Structure 1
Amino acid sequence: MSQHKRVSSRQVSSRRSFLKQTVGSAGIAAAGGGLVPYFLTASRAAAATASGDRPLIGCIGLGGQGSWNMELAMKHADVVAVCDVDSNRLAEARQNAGGKADMYDDYRKLLDRKDIQAVSIATPDHWHTKIAIDAMKAGKDVYCEKPLTLTIDEGKKICQVVKETGAVFQVGTQQRSDMDQRFLQAVAIIQSGRLGKVHKVSCAIGNAESSPSIPIVAPPKELNWERWLGQAPLVEYRWQGGKDAEGAEIPYKSRGHYEFRWWYEYSGGKMTDWGAHHVDCACWALGLDKTGPNAVRVDFCEHPVPFEKGYPTLDDRYNTATSFHVVNTFDDEGVELTIRHDTDNGILFEGDKGRLFVSRGKLAGKPVEELTDNPLPADAMRKAYKGSEPVSHMQNFFDCVKNRKEPISDVFSHHRSLTNCHLANIALRLNRNLKWDPVKEAMIGDDEAQSFVAREQRKGYEITV
């Protein structure tokens, strides 16, 4: 069996069991952040309907999440092209798409297709920004998995290109739409004033993986490892798994598929993997997704390897933080946002009228209990959902491809929310507190910390806007 055919139980539990679909009608509030020339917006709308009611989509990145997104997209569009640097995943995706989709190992060839109106991107995190920007500049609308970016600077670049091109761009933070709309209901409760003034919110996202030393091995023949690395430094492939000489199972560890999220070179660990969901919903509920914190305080942090000047000193094992407690302070709003590895996974809001806890399996607190006798206004959910009837996350994207309105998870709010996670990771890597200017989006008095707002990119794979 190929090394990369293995599917982690974590993948299954964190995706399909939670991605429940909802039904409803379309309609999203107008996009913010700059005017787009009418002819560009109109031409995109015309392209979206040129082939009839079902637009044509290409899917880039076809691991567990990418395959699931493709399956959801097929309810609303025709998949005519698939792309991956792993030929096994590519062939399997083509078969799952009905056996007729064209296959590409280079996403640029897919983007050259004039008949494709939209793309789904579910590559490792470090590839998201470059592919998304290239797709928008090629005239495509984009559905891209979270976390959208690897750095704060990448988020600023994506926002810039969305404004310039008028692309419809949905970030894959499905908690805004799916999960039985539990998070949406929590947002509606809070925005209706049922908690009063919220002064604290805690996002518990669980601890992360660690590993022993992972040996260097030759990349499997089906994987183009050099292209998989993309903008990241060129390094040897590492993998272990299977069974030992006595038949005992060897724990699966890798520098590649799925496990990329435990390496700062490609992702941000649990901080961005789950933080991209919970911190996003916390900021959405409190209106913090239009600004940023003023300060970041590190109360506790553990990394699986030693760090020096913000960089791991060992390159043979996972390096993202395994446990942490970070507090981001929003001075103007009078709110403290805590991101932590411990306590029950979910979001705890604390206001002067009560507390509310929401997770993928629970919505609890006095304001929830009071709904029986004092239900929310009839339009509360619609107001929280940008004035539209809530639908599934993927349907919301394709509705917006047709009506050219802003999706429920837009890049502007996601960039601001995810900045909290990126800042927390910078503080954890340097093991010190930070001061941040949310208007200038820059560190205050800390050049070393500022250097982590962007990253070096390997020649030939640079992000250009």
Structure 2
Amino acid sequence: MASTRRHFLQTTALTAGSLPAIAQTAGKSPNDKIQFATIGIGGMGSGDTESAIATPGTKLVAVCDLYQGRLTRAKEEWGAGLATTRDYREILNRKDIDAVIIGTPDHWHAAIAIAAMESGKDVYVEKPMVQKWQDGHKVIEASRKTNRILQVGSQRVSSAVYQKAQDLFRSGAIGELNMVQAWWDRNSAMGAWQYSIPLDASPTTVDWDRFLGSAPKRPFDATRFFRWRNYQDYGTGVAGDLFVHLFSGMHFVTGAIGPNRVFGSGGLRFWKDGRDVPDILLGLYDYEKTAAHPAFNLQLRVNFVNGAGESSGFTFTGSEGVMTIGNGVTLSKLPPETDPGTSAGNFDSATQKLIQEEYRRKYPQQNQTADSMRPIEDERWLPPRGYNDHLDHHANFFNAVRTRKPVVEDATFGLRAAGPALLSNMSFYSGKTVAWDPTTMQVKG
């Protein structure tokens, strides 16, 4: 059957262009803007801020960063009246700020998120939610105690593409799931975290001591400050940066809550620039049967040395088909293994002949060439042109801030995605398989 292509429209009302006017909460008029601040305005923090500003009903009032150049640029970009500071506590002390976006290095995520919720702020925190899985329980508890909204910044859970994949999975479109494969490969200096270092970087323009925080003390190092993802002291390697996205998307589609066994392998193969994290990482994971899905295996890969360039995606393999996620969703199914005419004993010879002729007409050269194994059905769903799930994810967050309704990617979801990603690092460095309880979110043994 010829491949068909269909555009699909988002089924939720949470797109950035359709954020509804929502009932009054916390003394706010439905027309009042949600005032927010961003803490950490590097690459991701700036991108998050742009998406938040593009969400109707929001207003950026302050930013925090430890490099003076970013604060200067923030005023140029978003207005001279913008409040700027190097101390995030000044933002948390302001009563006119309703929510904060946390785009800091990973080792600051938990501490600032907890402090923000305790100060009455709702929180959008970049992935991974925590640098150490144990801190995830502290974030969950703070969110519960303070009754604040917390959303983790992995946008796939708000994506119309992944919603379509979830619908297909739940409908049984691929039969019984048995394996998932996902990858995110790159081959560029920027993609491998070789970020540019400003010429004016110095102890004067950078608040180095505050940056270090809980990390080991050491003399000022501009490379570590601006390329922090390359170091275990501040980041979480490719697992925390990219595996966590893949876990988030896969958990959303399947309803899985995590593996019970984790194994990570890889190495530093090309980007030998002083970093202490691998540039190639492979992960193998066992998922036990639950009410949401059968038992299955997961394989993840990140390769920063992919000569073919950047690519990412998913394949969900089932007993009756394969679902692929790229820029859209593709569903593929193979023809029956055997010629139905050979087992049509209940039909007379003339009918059997008609069945065989029809089969050969539909599937010429069956079992003779590679072409005969092309899927008989290949349906593809594509989002509208220009679709941006990052905008949807921020609209989702600010909608929750107004309505006080829960978000999908809350602190518990965040730990269930970050946990196995961080354990991939643990397994890689120890050379051992790690056991994980996905229900209690604890390392076993």
- TM-score normalised per structure 1: 0.71
Pairs aligned (count): 364
Q: Look up the match of 1:84.
A: 65
**Residues 26, 163 of structure 1: CA spacing in aligned structure 2 closer, same or farther, 3 A cutoff?**
farther
Q: Look up the match of 1:255.
A: 224
Q: For residues 175-227 of structure 1, what are the alpha-carbon distances to aligned partners after superposition, in whole Å with 9 as ceiling and x for unaligned?
A: 2234xx3233222221222122212111212368499xx9xx98352111111
Q: SS where residue 239 of structure 2 aligns?
A: helix
C-alpha contact (below 8 Å) 1:303/1:322 kept by paired residues: yes
Question: Does 1:205 pair with 2:171?
Answer: no
Question: Does 1:127 pair with 2:108?
Answer: yes
Q: Look up the match of 1:244.
A: none
C-alpha contact (below 8 Å) 2:267/2:280 kept by paired residues: yes
Q: SS where residue 84 of structure 2 aligns?
A: strand
Choose from 322, 327, 332 the match for 2:284.
327
Choose from 35, 38, 48 the match for 1:59.
38
Q: Look up the match of 1:142.
A: 123
Q: Look up the match of 1:338.
A: 299
C-alpha contact (below 8 Å) 2:175/2:319 kept by paired residues: yes
CA shift for structure 1 position 64: 1.9
C-alpha contact (below 8 Å) 2:36/2:99 kept by paired residues: yes
**Residues 438, 83 of structure 1: CA spacing in aligned structure 2 closer, same or farther, 3 A cutoff?**
same
CA shift for structure 1 position 115: 1.2
Superposed, 1:138-287 pairs within 5 Å as 138-178=119-159, 181-206=160-185, 209=192, 219-239=202-222, 254-257=223-226, 259-287=227-255
**Residues 164, 210 of structure 1: CA spacing in aligned structure 2 closer, same or farther, 3 A cutoff?**
closer
C-alpha contact (below 8 Å) 1:301/1:431 kept by paired residues: no
C-alpha contact (below 8 Å) 2:419/2:441 kept by paired residues: no
Q: Look up the match of 2:4.
A: none
Structure number with greater Rg is 2
**Residues 135, 369 of structure 1: CA spacing in aligned structure 2 closer, same or farther, 3 A cutoff?**
farther
Superposed, 1:346-361 pairs within 5 Å as 346-359=313-326, 361=327
- Which residue identity lines up with residue 45 of structure 1 in the other structure? T
**Residues 159, 165 of structure 1: CA spacing in aligned structure 2 closer, same or farther, 3 A cutoff?**
same
Q: For residues 252-280 of structure 1, what are the alpha-carbon distances to aligned partners after superposition, in whole Å with 9 as ceiling and x for unaligned?
A: xx2122x2112111112111111121111
CA shift for structure 1 position 408: 3.2
Partners of 1:280 and 1:356 lie apart in 2 by 17
Partners of 1:255 and 1:304 lie apart in 2 by 20
CA shift for structure 1 position 51: 9.1
C-alpha contact (below 8 Å) 1:304/1:320 kept by paired residues: no
Q: Look up the match of 1:107.
A: 88
- Greater Cα shift, 189-198 or 155-164: 189-198
Q: Look up the match of 2:5.
A: none
- Greater Cα shift, 408-417 or 202-211: 202-211
CA shift for structure 1 position 322: 1.8
Q: SS where residue 163 of structure 1 aligns?
A: helix
Q: SS where residue 225 of structure 2 aligns?
A: coil
Counting aligned pairs with the same residue, the percent is: 30
- Which residue identity lines up with residue 363 of structure 1 in the other structure? V
CA shift for structure 1 position 435: 2.0
**Residues 111, 233 of structure 1: CA spacing in aligned structure 2 closer, same or farther, 3 A cutoff?**
same
Q: SS where residue 195 of structure 1 aligns?
A: coil
- Which residue identity lines up with residue 255 of structure 1 in the other structure? R
C-alpha contact (below 8 Å) 2:19/2:395 kept by paired residues: no
CA shift for structure 1 position 107: 0.4
Q: For residues 292-334 of structure 1, what are the alpha-carbon distances to aligned partners after superposition, in whole Å with 9 as ceiling and x for unaligned?
A: 3221234x421469xxxxxxxx9x8111122232211122341
Q: Look up the match of 1:422.
A: 422
Q: SS where residue 108 of structure 1 aligns?
A: helix
Q: Look up the match of 1:365.
A: 331
Partners of 1:335 and 1:143 lie apart in 2 by 32
Gaps of 5+ in 2: 1-14, 334-374, 384-389
- Which residue identity lines up with residue 220 of structure 2 in the other structure? Y
Q: Look up the match of 1:16.
A: none
CA shift for structure 1 position 372: 6.0
**Residues 182, 369 of structure 1: CA spacing in aligned structure 2 closer, same or farther, 3 A cutoff?**
farther
**Residues 391, 442 of structure 1: CA spacing in aligned structure 2 closer, same or farther, 3 A cutoff?**
closer
- Which residue identity lines up with residue 206 of structure 2 in the other structure? L
C-alpha contact (below 8 Å) 1:27/1:405 kept by paired residues: no
Superposed, 1:33-44 pairs within 5 Å as none
C-alpha contact (below 8 Å) 1:218/1:237 kept by paired residues: no
Q: Look up the match of 1:456.
A: none
Superposed, 1:452-463 pairs within 5 Å as none
Q: Look up the match of 1:301.
A: 266
Partners of 1:404 and 1:192 lie apart in 2 by 30
Q: SS where residue 202 of structure 2 aligns?
A: coil
